[in-house]
Amino acid sequence: MDARENKTQVVINMKGDRKYIWIFLLPTAAFLSIFLYYPFFKSLYFSFYRTKGFFDKKFIGWDNYDRLISDKLLGAATLHTLEIMLYVLVFQVGIALVLAVMVDNISKFKSFFRAVFFFPVVISGTAISLLFVLFYNYNFGLLNNVMVNLGLEKVLWLSETNALKAIAVPTVWHYVGFYFVLFVTAMSKIPEDYYDAAKLEGITGFKKMIKLTIPLILSDIKVVITLAITGTMKVFDFVWVISRAQNGTDVLGTYMYKKAMVDQNFGYGSTVAIYMVILGVVIALLANRLLKSEEITY
């Protein structure tokens, strides 16, 4: 059978498969359209309206976008989001990588550590936030109790200069385990031959990690970074519960919620949502461009 014939055969087969492809894609497509694309376009529609509660709306053209540009609170919220993003990229991805390398190098208790590090991921963000409310509370929080017992002054953990960093701690901690598991899985896919070769060359320890392991899982690191960036755009629960988005901790998620839900100004809330989508896409694209490198195949 020559090659061309073979190809036609494949195309014909594909045609037969196509309807099955459609059938299997349809539920997800419908689900996505109902819960993602429809709300998105509805938000776009609402962003041109001044709304009053749920029942009253009036077309106002680009007014909401004008307000968006001159909104100082939104600017601050954007900066706070970017700051958290920085912490997440450095610490969340960094710690996950370090833990993964360490766990990859031990022979016993691997699955134990995997389970332990993954554990926070399954707890809801709100529950973790409540926990940290009790850690940080000025009057009877755990940290201040420890300070007092050590004979030190009480610290206002959620002060204007500290609050965002204090919130970044549980935010980072919550998802370290998730990225850790991704890294460990990626590392376990590296063929043993590479390590054997390295051993023969006498490359071990730190050098092995820098020269061998990390370059080989670079594509996974890229995925993780993209996930981390898009994940930070969604931060809401930690900020809302721990500091009520006060003291310089207002992020985009909480700002949008406040505008839309608390103020019941769905028009402007939708405009902020559109802004978030655009910002998120731009940052993700930017990150992808910066991290561009050739794919590695084993």
Partner 1 sequence: MKKSSLLLLSMLVVFTMFLAACGSKTEDKNAAPETPKTETETPKETEAPKKDVSLRVFSTFGGTDSAREAFQAALDEFTAKNPNVKINNDTMSANDDGFRTKVNTDMTSGNEPDLLFYFVGADAQGFVDAGKVVPLNDILDANADWKAGFAPAALENTRQKDGNIYAAPLTGFYEGLFVNKKIFADNNLELPTDWDKMKTAVQTLSKKGIIPLAAPFDQSHYVIEHFILSAAGDKGHNAGLADGIDPNWEKGYAAMKELYDLGAFPKDAATIDLSMASNYFGEGKAAMILEGSWAMGNWKDAAVIDNTTVLPFPAMPGGVGTGKDVIGGFGSGFYLSKSTFDNADKKDTAIELLKNMTSPAVIEKIAIANGGTPAAAGVEIKGANQTATDGFAMAANATSVNNPIDTMVSPETFSTLRAGVQSVVTGKKAPADVLKEAKAIEDANKK
Helix axes 163-188, 94-105, angle to 10 degrees: 40
Applying CB under 8 A, among 17, 119, 263, 278 the residue interacting with partner 1 is 263
Nearer to partner 1, 143 or 214 (CB): 143
**Does position 196 bind partner 1 by CB under 8 A?**
no
**Does position 211 bind partner 1 by CB under 8 A?**
no
**Does position 258 bind partner 1 by CB under 8 A?**
yes
**Does position 22 bind partner 1 by CB under 8 A?**
yes
**Judged by CB under 8 A, how many residues of this single chain contact partner 1?**
37
Q: In the complex, what is the shortest distance from the CB of residue 132 to partner 1, in angstroms, rounded to a whole number?
A: 11
Q: In the complex, what is the shortest distance from the CB of residue 274 to partner 1, in angstroms, rounded to a whole number?
A: 19
**Does position 189 bind partner 1 by CB under 8 A?**
no
**Does position 233 bind partner 1 by CB under 8 A?**
no
CB atoms within 10 A of CB 89: 17
Question: Do residues 260 and 274 lie in contact, with contact meaning Cβ atoms separated by under 8 Å?
Answer: no
Quick one: CA dihedral 87, 89, 92, 97, positive or negative?
negative
**Does position 256 bind partner 1 by CB under 8 A?**
no
Q: In the complex, what is the shortest distance from the CB of residue 139 to partner 1, in angstroms, rounded to a whole number?
A: 6
Ordered DSSP codes for the chain: --HHHHHHHHHHHHHHHHHHHHHHHHHHHHHHIIIIIHHHHHHHHHTTEEEETTTEEEE-TTHHHHHHHH-HHHHHHHHHHHHHHHHIIIIIIHHHHHHHHHHHH-SSSHHHHHHHHHHHHHS-HHHHHHHHHHHH-TTT-HHHHHHHHTTPPP--TTSTTTHHHHHHHHHHHHHHHHHHHHHHHHHHTS-HHHHHHHHHHT--HHHHIIIIIHHHTHHHHHHHHHHHHHHHHT--HHHHHHHTT-SS---HHHHHHIIIIIS--HHHHHHHHHHHHHHHHHHHHHHHHHT-------
d(CA 223, CA 94): 14
Applying CB under 8 A, among 30, 69, 127, 142 the residue interacting with partner 1 is 30
Fill in the per-residue mask, 52 to 91: x = in contact with partner 1 (CB under 8 A), - = not in contact.
xxxxx-x-x-------------------------------
Nearer to partner 1, 133 or 279 (CB): 133
Applying CB under 8 A, among 265, 272, 274, 275 the residue interacting with partner 1 is 265
Nearer to partner 1, 161 or 293 (CB): 161
- Only one of the segments 4-12, 97-105, 152-160, 177-185 lies at the binding site for partner 1 (rule: CB under 8 A); that segment is 152-160
Question: Do residues 274 and 50 lie in contact, with contact meaning Cβ atoms separated by under 8 Å?
Answer: no
Applying CB under 8 A, among 39, 40, 95, 137 the residue interacting with partner 1 is 137
- Only one of the segments 1-9, 51-59, 87-95, 228-236 lies at the binding site for partner 1 (rule: CB under 8 A); that segment is 51-59
Applying CB under 8 A, among 10, 244, 286, 296 the residue interacting with partner 1 is 244
Binding residues for partner 1 (CB under 8 A): 18-19, 22-23, 26-27, 30, 50, 52-56, 58, 60, 133, 137-140, 156, 158, 160, 163, 242-247, 258-259, 261-265
